[in-house]
Structure 1
Amino acid sequence: MSVITGENKAEKIEADNPHDKNNILQSIFRAAPVGIGMVVDRVIVEANNKLCEMTDYSMDEIIGKSARMLYPSDEDFNYVGIDKYEQIKEKGNGHVETRWMKKNGEIIDIFLSSSAIDINDISRGVTFTALDISELKTFEQTIRMRDIQLNNIAENVPAALFQYFVRNNGDTGFYYISESSEQIFGLKNNLDGFFELFTSHVVPEFREQFLKSIEKSVTGKKTWEYEGVFQKDSGEFIWFRCTSNPVIMDDEVIYNGIGMDINDKIKFLSLSERATKLESLALLAGGIAHDFNNILGGIFGYIEMARNYSSADKTVSGYLDSAMQIFDRSKALTGQLLTFAKGGEPVKKNGSISQTLIDLTTFLMKDSGHAYEFNLPDDLKICTYDHEQISNALENIITNAIQAMPAGGSLYVSAENTHVPEKKDTYLRPGDYVKISIKDSGTGIPGEMLPKIFDPFFTTKNKCKGMGLATSHSIITKHHGCIDVNSSPGKGTAFYIFLPASEGEAEVKPVKKEDEHTGNGSILLMDDEVFIRETVGEMLKIMGYKVYKATDGGEAIKMVKEGLTNGVSFKAFILDLNIPNGIGGKETISRLRQMGIEAPAFASSGYSDDPVIASPADFGFTDSLRKPYRMEDLALMLNYYLKNNHN
């Protein structure tokens, strides 16, 4: 018994009937799922049905025609002729990707494979197969475009993307890190050693927890999330957040993740938390400041009156002079409380911030032994600000800088014009600003403390109350500005302050220097506190005025009407804004103006939560007086507004 193999069968078929082999090849030729043909001198002499189907040509239309009819251009035709035939001459066959054009003009992508009938004589003919790869090319193009888009997204998204693997054998590493890692963290996306390099930049206080969080995630094959502080090579500290989700494979776990700079988020949360704290503090501060200012006004008013009547006794007048010197310190203390008071608005005027910076810095630095430098351009825009409050804010910052340089150092103070566009991601309203920079070369602030430095009562110094920077922040915020800080331990700290710029000119109020005033006629004084009526009333009497005293608006209106009936002409009105259980100053001045009375009227209050104090003219007043005020403050104001009416 003999065994017949496949090879034996082929030999037997050929031996029994040589035409069978040709029939088999013809069958394959007709049934093949790819186009098959033959060319002689690039003229088509054979083609199967699939080739006709691919091109939409009939057999009669294609046989005997130049293969050029299948190509959309001479360039495509010649390229195939040169490239493919060079391969055939070298190897006996050739492969090339090209384009064909169907009968209806549609372009299709083709993969051609060709072989010479006689490698030594190509002129005898070349057989070829043609595979339509249009769908494959479209798919490849889609994948390629998707890769480009994903890479573009990865490099432009404000975060670093990564793919980290943990294999079952313990190997770990990165498959991918986006180039944006350099922009976000200052680290190049080198896969080798990136983990160790990144970990070394996590500040020591956070590093152990950072590693433990990763270990916990890897052990449990769970989502990893972490927030901490990262120090760049430049020394800058940033808060960062990393998060990744595991994809569990047979032999490894792949973590697809993202790393972000969340400094703005931390600042926003800090601002929100700080606002909540300030809200509570504001309620307390407003009430205390108002009562304290009224009391101070009474105390120092009586002291000032006593001093005026004690000139004969040098000892007594000396003590009273010393007591009056405490007035400014007491007023400054209530001023700090008013900074936090809910709704308290600064009394803003247009002015040059350059001169304020120069005067304040020079005064504070003169005895410090530190060097200082200014860079204040001549074209710096005018700002709209409360001179007293902004000076207080800047003083706190400069004082902090001096204290941060115990071994000596230098201070750099600069300012520049800047613009915040509509869609800028910032805490500022769109518009023009003056950006003030105050940079010291001191000890710097640790990164983990930066979010807390503007919190009320936060301090790292002994015998400090922790209110300086909190006060500065509150003042600048109420000016619709912004304060930011950047610091590196051992390299110093920079504070950046943005104040709204104004297109107007600097306001120059030509107040006379005289702290004495004399006049005549009648002034109406309205206040619910008896000691204010007594002390301020006495001041006005000393100046030469007849004083009408009222406890509230109802009594004041009655006095004015009776006075007008009796021929009394009031030179001015001093009206307390807040009268518990009575008519206050705002309603009183409204009624007076309705009566046609145009005499100067001054709003007076120990509160800062009434917009009348900040913008008295908007409510019918001439100006405002913040309690407590001294006789010289009253005299300066009357000198300015009643200068044409006094003797």
Structure 2
Amino acid sequence: MSLAGTAQSSPTTESRQSKGIGVSILVIESFASTPLGPKIVFANNVALQETGYEEKSLVGSPLGLIYDRDDLRNLIEKLPIIAARAGFCWMNRNLIRNGGMKETMHWTIRPTKRENGRAQHFTLTFKSIQEVRKSDPTARLDRPSPTEPTQESRIADKTAPDSSNGDLEKALQKTRSESLAMAAGGVAHDFKNALQTIKSNLEIAHSLAGVHSKLSTCLNDANHALDDAEILAHQMLAFTRGDQFKSKIFDITDQVQRASTLCTAGSRVSCQLNLEPQLRLVEGDPNRIYQVLHNLVINACQAMPNGGVLHLTTGNADLDLQNRYLVAAGSYTVVSVRDRGCGIPPDILPQIFENNFSTKIDGSGFGLASCLAIVKAHGGEIRAASKVGVGTEFLVFLPSTGKTVERSELSSTQGNIISSSNNTGIPECISRTDQASITKACRVLVVEDQAPVLKATRGLLQHLGHECFEAMDGESAIRTYRQHLDSAEPIDVVLLDMTLPGGLHGVDVYRELQMMDPKVLVIATSGYFDDGPNDTVAEAGFPASLAKPFSMEALSKTITRLLS
């Protein structure tokens, strides 16, 4: 891949501060596969803006393209030391932007580890020294930093050595937040790999158990919980990229029904639904709104540890300027979440939406605060009323939209929550009888370095009637494909993970396969992919792609489409 990218205007410090550009995040290989260091396998939008490169130019290029060349060899030599530490390291080094301009940045680096404890990738963040000093004037960033491993607690101590307890806690919280942002890219990838293994095995179990077996209810509940985990994975990935929520028109009824089903499963709480049949549509991100309802319903269930009735009600409200809810005048779609739990004392009720405030011993203090932030971002409000010994009610006001959409488009928006299931939670593509009419048997080479994911994917393919070949790195994949190319039974499709160990990235493997067979059919897969088109995949010309965790149905349809 060429190191030269399309030039973009490099942001000045002033423009960065006015936009609040945030932290740049990179994920690189665990070893130096090129003379200029490890290859970059992921960059969030902030990193792309800071470096001035487009994603197609930056991802796949070595770190030395943008990192201080005077310190690059030193960093490469210390990667094994950094990989062995639990904390992260920091250093002040130059960022080389597209066009050659340099600026000293505050960099951090930490490993993302496999189950065996070895580093799988490294996650880096960088931010301008000026921005760090502005956000924390006490930060000591001018001392020589020889890129030595440092524990998070030690970093906090050095950041504010003479602070009071309150200031020290703020410094510790800032370090934790930076650590979270730094690790989020790698965690999201690993989390989605784990979900792929769970999802594949659940779907196979569904097929073997049968729709009406005694196990079907348990498997359905597990499948719905998996859908929740997928939403969380997408949100983590959106966080690493600095994405804003994706707005669309939708009916909130689906989110309410899902929250009632998932959040009360396995508890002694029963849910009573009162749904308005003519509920007005809203405009926003259905996954974010579901997150709000999920949190509210979970809180309601926890308020009734001995069981009880949870009431979920939807309705339309047209409020004038003088209304008892103190909400701005307008037309709203409203959801009520009401429990019959212990209630909230009146002296605590005004504080429940504050950051870091929680009445639970193990509470994070961010649940209700995040709910309020999401609803406000949609132009809405949340109101709460409670009486000790009686219960609590939360009202979520979301602005109604007068926009209309086609029924098919509305249905697809509901599908964002359960993208690969019917209303029973059972994948539609599970019956061997039906599969015969969906796709013909073929030979598939699976290139995947994670053994559990490889095993689960093999199970899916064999269940679909396909013959499966396996490779755990790029070199083995190329060798296996070459061995079968001129045989009587060549490989029909390659399922290729984009982040592989060794010297070959997914794009490199695809290029090598194309040189052998210009008509090779490759499906790119990755935990870094989201549901939408991926710039790297599109630029490389892959015939198809699948974001992990993909379903049996999605895999079957993608193979069928390629072969047809």
In which range does the TM-score fall when normalised by the shorter chain? 0.3 to 0.5
Q: Which has the larger radius of gyration?
A: 1
Higher relative contact order (CA 8 A, sep 6+): 2
TM-score with structure 1 length normalisation?
A: 0.39
